[in-house]
């Protein structure tokens, strides 16, 4: 028991490396927030564009969504970080992480929002168009709010899955939670920093999971 505590909960090691891991939390949170913002924004924009039903454009949107949903983000991260400098595109580690995760989240978000749009009754569109709103305003005021509402529970789950992947940054030296913890682990020779990373991830993601659960329970149409 002592050995277990000493390995995972060594107070000296904890005190020494906690500041590093807390710093890593800042990096994780910043990248996660940027990824959520950009990924959802781009995904929503693509789903809206797809609603216009332009064949050629939709072909490209669907290709993009399918490709980015198929590829493991780590592969893309390694290509962008180690491969792209050879063709003259040099991105920092955090930037690579941000770009890859945003594009991946956008691909999933586009499909989720699109499923939301597809579930909006045809009659809703007709009601908007028949009252002179035209396609774009019907999209914005009638279909979009309903699609977003339908998309919320699956979207939050997907956001969770993708933002956790900020841990992939440890493969390219981004000083996020996992990276700072593994560094601390090799310096200290103790597994305690990994415990710190567990705590750090729980602090960030547990509230999001609880929020997702709450959203799922409250996603039905209500009176107000």
- Determine the Cα–Cα distance for residues 24 and 194; give it in Å rounded to an integer: 12
Q: Rule CB under 8 A: choose which of 141, 187, 211, 214 binds other proteins.
A: 141
Q: Rule CB under 8 A: choose which of 26, 72, 83, 145 binds other proteins.
A: 145
Rounded to a whole number of angstroms, the minimum distance from the CB of residue 219 to other proteins is 12
Beta strands in the chain (DSSP E): none
Short-list 175, 193, 176, 197, CA closest to 8: 193
Q: Which is nearer to other proteins, 44 or 174 (CB)?
A: 44
| Contact region with other proteins (CB under 8 A), list: 110-118, 143-151, 154-162, 165-173 | 143-151
130 contributes a contact to other proteins by CB under 8 A: yes
- How far is CA 149 from its chain centroid? 18
Contact status, residue 158 vs residue 112, Cβ threshold 8 Å: yes
SS3 3: helix
57 contributes a contact to other proteins by CB under 8 A: no
- Determine the Cα–Cα distance for residues 13 and 35; give it in Å rounded to an integer: 32
133 contributes a contact to other proteins by CB under 8 A: yes
Site residues, other proteins (CB under 8 A): 121, 123-124, 126-134, 137, 141-142, 145-146, 149, 221-224
């Amino acid at each position: 028991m002592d050995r277990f505590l000493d390995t995972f909960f060594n107070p000296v090691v904890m005190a020494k490396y906690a500041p590093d891991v807390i710093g890593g939390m800042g990096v994780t949170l910043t990248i996660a927030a940027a990824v959520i913002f950009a990924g959802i924004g781009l995904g929503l924009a693509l789903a809206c564009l797809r609603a216009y039903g332009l064949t050629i454009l939709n072909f490209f949107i669907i290709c993009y969504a399918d490709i980015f949903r198929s590829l493991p983000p780590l592969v893309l991260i390694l290509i962008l970080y180690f491969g792209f400098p050879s063709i003259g595109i040099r991105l920092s580690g955090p930037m690579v992480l941000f770009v890859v995760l945003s594009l991946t989240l956008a691909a999933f978000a586009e499909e989720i929002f699109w499923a939301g749009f597809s579930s909006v009754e045809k009659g809703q569109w007709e009601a908007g168009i028949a009252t002179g709103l035209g396609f774009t305003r019907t999209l914005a005021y009638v279909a979009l709010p309903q699609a977003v509402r339908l998309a919320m529970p699956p979207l939050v789950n997907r956001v969770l899955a993708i933002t956790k992947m900020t841990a992939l940054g440890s493969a390219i030296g981004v000083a996020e939670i996992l990276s700072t913890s593994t560094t601390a682990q090799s310096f200290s020779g103790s597994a305690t920093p990994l415990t710190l990373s567990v705590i750090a991830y729980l602090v960030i993601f547990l509230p999001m999971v609880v929020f997702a659960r709450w959203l799922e329970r409250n996603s039905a149409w209500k009176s107000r």
